[in-house]
Structure 1
Amino acid sequence: MSRLQVVSGKGGTGKTTVAAALALALATQGKRTLLVEVEGRQGIAQLFETEALPYEERKIAVAPGGGEVYALAIDPELALLDYLQMFYKLGSAGRALRKIGAIDFATTIAPGVRDVLLTGKACEAVRRKDRSGRFVYDYVVMDAPPTGRITRFLNVNDEVAGLAKIGPIHHQAQAVMRVLKSPETAVHLVTLLEEMPVQETVDGIAELRAARLPVGRVIVNMVRPQVLDPSALDLVAAVPRSSVARALSSAGLGGARRGGHAERLVEPLLAQAEEYAERYALETEQRAVLADLDVPLHELPLLAEGMDLAGLYALARELREQDVS
């Protein structure tokens, strides 16, 4: 199991939810996980029903078996101050740079600098050890940018290392890329069984592979339960309306006479069945597309009650049962 788990996905697929559930799953049985947010949306705080996260590592949950989940919302500006202090020992001079807006200027004029700081902070957490020489965190889970940006986001240090041939920036970028392009890292993509998210997943995996970044798993989120088996779906279009009305009447839903309650239910029921049949065919087609990617494929159910803290723990349990953790 890779120690840095990067979770991406098209907007709306629930990648932040999956990242949080994965962090809980990995923390089972006494493990310690750091869940990192890089987009500044405070989605992790909302999921765990806690106050907005500061720029510090804070425990936010306890997993089954006594494991712990910590969270960190990375602030690029403060990460740059850390970087300046680490490599140049600027101290108060770094704080002065912040006051005059030099940090905003640096991250605005060179957007790649921001991504270097974000990925660098996550990789530092992966490599960090305590005084006994043990890793501080067993796993680091990154709630990363969407699929369309993930390859450039992760590969930006490679570009920086090529531009800065010597010095601490070059060495820092190389150190980060050694983590990101090693077996220590796995990039997972979250999708739905719909055409656009699946196509974006296919494209994203192709880009990751071209950049030699390690592809992990595809996690299909919000999968609806199967309510009709394939043999029943084949009968939907051909079933006689009168037979459906008689069956409804036998079930105690009114008489089958014309205009009766049971007969009024026939068309809406069959329309729902036809809509379900179309949806089932689409999902079957998209599953086949994902199966051709030759990566491990997992599915998480749609929670009818909506997403809350209990639902998050339920998804973590699903991931453990599917041996994702």
Structure 2
Amino acid sequence: MTRLHVVSGKGGTGKTTVAAALALALAAEGKRTLLVEVEGRQGIAQLFETEALPYEERKIAVAPGGGEVYALAIDAERALLDYLQMFYKLGSAGRALKKLGAIDFATTIAPGLRDVLLTGKACEAVRRKDRSGSFVYDHVVMDAPPTGRVTRFLNVNDEVAGLARIGPIHNQAQAVMRVLKSPETAVHLVTLLEEMPVQETVDGIAELRAANLPVGGVVVNMVRPGILDEAAVEAAANGRRTAVAGALAHALERTGSGSAVEPPVGPLLEQAREHTERLALEQQGRAEIAKLDLPAYELELLGDGVDLAGLYRMARELRKQGFL
């Protein structure tokens, strides 16, 4: 069973929103999920309408069926202090280094070190057990860096294990990669039905597969509903103005808009043409996604923006489509 869900996507596709909705979906029916943020943007706190998250695991939502969602904004400096204490028993020395600015210096000049600490903390949460031997969290969802950086981000511990041949650093790096490359992990990519996000998704999945990282599914976000029926779309695509005008007039009449005033058919026809062009591009995007041979899920565009109620709605839709 997949326990670590890594969610990535091109900027602007709504990956943080999807990660939050997925955490709610996975926490349903009494499960406990940890939602992890690694980029320091406090996007999770904004979505759940709560104060900025500290470096601690804090309950932020209750899912249907009594499940709980906890959240953690991982801070690289604090994660390094945890690492020093866990493997070298240098808790007090680590705090002294922090006061001197050495911790901040180390994590700033070595971005690879930051990624090691961030992935390591997330994997520690996946492996953590309570006194009875049960996992503390049924699922961990990571709001990961964008598609163009996610493969290197996840694969950084492979490089570290190669550099440090022996010792606790080598062992820790290998332990993290055992989690990230196991069936317990799945990397999901979020996209839109637009040319650039779809192409970046295709390229990102190719990179993940080349690095032997487990790919999960593709979430197509912000899908806009169709306005015209198939006959009207075909007529607009073929330039049959009379048929399209009739379909638009009928639609307006059904809503009561066409009885009082003459509908502005010209502008509506232009919108119908643009709509058909968009539908054609979306179908091309779906065809490219289908070639990936991966599970694909679609979430509709929420016209009023995403609030807490919208997150629960998205979570229900993910469960309905079998994203578990």
TM-score (norm 1): 0.95
- 1:4-25 CA-to-partner distances (Å, cap 9, x unmatched) read 0000000000000000000000
Q: Which amino acid aligns with 1:42?
A: Q
The more displaced of 18-27 and 101-110 is: 101-110
Cα distance in 1 for partners of 2:88, 2:41 equals 30
The CA deviation at 1:177 is: 0.2
8 Å contact from structure 1 (residues 245, 266) kept in 2: no
1:94 aligns with 2:99: no
1:317 aligns with 2:316: yes
RMSD: 1.8
C-alpha deviation, 1:130, in angstroms: 0.2
Q: Please tell me whether residue 71 in structure 1 is matched to residue 71 in structure 2.
A: yes
**Residues 274-315 of structure 1: CA distance to partner in whole angstroms, max 9, x if unpaired?**
111011000001000000001101100101221100000000
Q: Alpha-carbon deviation of 1:135?
A: 0.2
Distance 1:314 1:10 in 2: 23
Secondary structure at 1:262 match in 2: coil
Q: Deviations over 1:26-63 (max 9, x none)?
A: 00000000000000000000000000000000000000
Unaligned runs of 5+ in 1: 256-260
The reply on whether 1:221 has 2:226 as its aligned counterpart is no
Partner of 2:258: 253
2:293 maps to a residue whose letter is D
User: For the Cα contact (< 8 Å) 2:245–2:269, is it kept in 1?
Assistant: no
C-alpha contact (below 8 Å) 1:115/1:156 kept by paired residues: yes
Instruction: State which of 238, 241, 245 in structure 2 corresponds to 1:239.
Output: 241
Matches within 5 A, 1:76-155: 76-155=76-155
SS in 1 for 2:168: helix
**How many angstroms does 1:228 deviate by?**
1.7
Deviation at 1:272, TM superposition (A): 1.0
Distance 1:234 1:105, change over 3 A: same
Instruction: Tell me if structure 1 keeps the 8 A contact 2:232–2:244.
Output: no
Deviation at 1:109, TM superposition (A): 2.4
| Separation of aligned partners in 2, 1:252 and 1:26 | 44
Aligned counterparts of 2:13 and 2:62: Cα–Cα separation in 1 = 25
Q: Tell me the equivalent position of 2:266.
A: 267
Letter in 1 for 2:203: D
Give how far 1:324 is off. 0.2
In the aligned structure 2, how far is the partner of 1:99 from the partner of 1:241?
74
Larger radius of gyration between Structure 1 and Structure 2: 1
Cα separation, 2, equivalents of 1:80 and 1:242: 63
Q: Distance in 2 between matches of 1:242 and 1:174?
A: 62
In structure 2, do the counterparts of structure 1 residues 172 and 212 end up closer, same or farther at CA, with 3 Å as the change threshold?
same
SS in 1 for 2:193: coil
Compared CA separation, residues 246 and 302, structure 1 to 2 (3 A): closer
- Cα distance change, pair 96–275 in 1 and its aligned pair in 2 (3 A): same
The alpha-carbon deviation at position 246 of structure 1 amounts to 11
- SS of the equivalent of 2:28 reads coil
| Corresponding position of 1:303 | 302
What is residue 174 of structure 1 aligned with on the other side? Answer: 174
Deviation beyond 3 Å, 4+ runs, structure 1: 241-255
Give the CA deviation at 1:242: 11
**What SS class does the counterpart of residue 60 from structure 1 fall into?**
strand
CA offsets 1:90-117 (integer angstroms, 9 cap, x no match): 1211101001111122112221000000
In the TM superposition, residue 254 of structure 1 has moved relative to its aligned partner by 6.3
Query: What letter corresponds to residue 101 of structure 2 in structure 1?
Result: G
What's the TM-score, normalizing by structure 2?
0.95
Identity, in percent, stands at 78
Determine if contact 2:241/2:269 at 8 Å carries over to the other structure.
no
- Aligned twin of 1:258: none
